[in-house]
């Protein structure tokens, strides 16, 4: 895959990385890709999962902002 990947190709490659399924950085990244693809329901699912696994208050707040931006479009 070249650097000029589309969002869909990037997302497909990202979903193949099974080792990071429980990592909130990964869940956030996948959520961001769905957000860019305007798939707000799926983005919300990933952000909520990230919110569940994340311990940091500031990271949680960032995820809440992302969730709010999803809600605006849903």
Partner 1 sequence: MTQPGNVHQLVGHLFRQEAGKMAAVLTRIFGLHNIEQAEDIVQDTLLQALSAWKFKGIPENPQAWLYTVAKNKTVDLLRTQKRRHEIENDISVLLKTEWTLVPTVKNHFLKNEIDDSQLRMIFACCHPSIPYESQIALTLKTLCGLSTSEIASGFLTNEETISKRIYRAKEKFKTENIQLEVPVNDLETRLDAVLKSLYLLFNEGYNSNSTNEIIREDLCSEAMRLCILLTENEITGQPQSFALLSLMCLQASRFDARLDDQGEIILLKDQDRSKWNSKLIGKGIEYLKQSQSKQGATEYHLEASIAACHALAEDFDATNWKYIYNVYCELSMIKPSPVIEMNKQCFGVCRDH
Q: Rounded to 5 degrees, what angle do the CA atoms 26, 74, 72 make?
A: 85
Residue 47 binds to partner 1 (criterion: CB under 8 A): no
Q: How far is the CB of 3 from partner 1 (least distance, A)?
A: 4
Residue number with CB closer to partner 1 (26 or 40): 26
Query: Applying CB under 8 A, which of residues 22, 41, 58, 71 lies at the interface with partner 1?
Result: 58
Q: How far is the CB of 9 from partner 1 (least distance, A)?
A: 8
C-alpha to C-alpha distance for 43 and 29, rounded to whole angstroms: 9
Sign of the CA dihedral with 41 first, then 42, 48, and 54 last: negative
């Amino acid at each position: 895959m070249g650097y000029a990947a589309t969002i869909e190709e990037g997302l497909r490659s990202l979903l193949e990385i099974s080792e990071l399924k429980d990592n909130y950085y990964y869940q956030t990244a996948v959520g961001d890709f769905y957000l860019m693809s305007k798939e707000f329901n799926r983005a919300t699912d990933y952000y909520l999962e990230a919110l569940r696994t994340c311990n940091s208050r500031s990271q949680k707040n960032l995820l809440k902002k992302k969730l709010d931006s999803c809600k605006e479009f849903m």
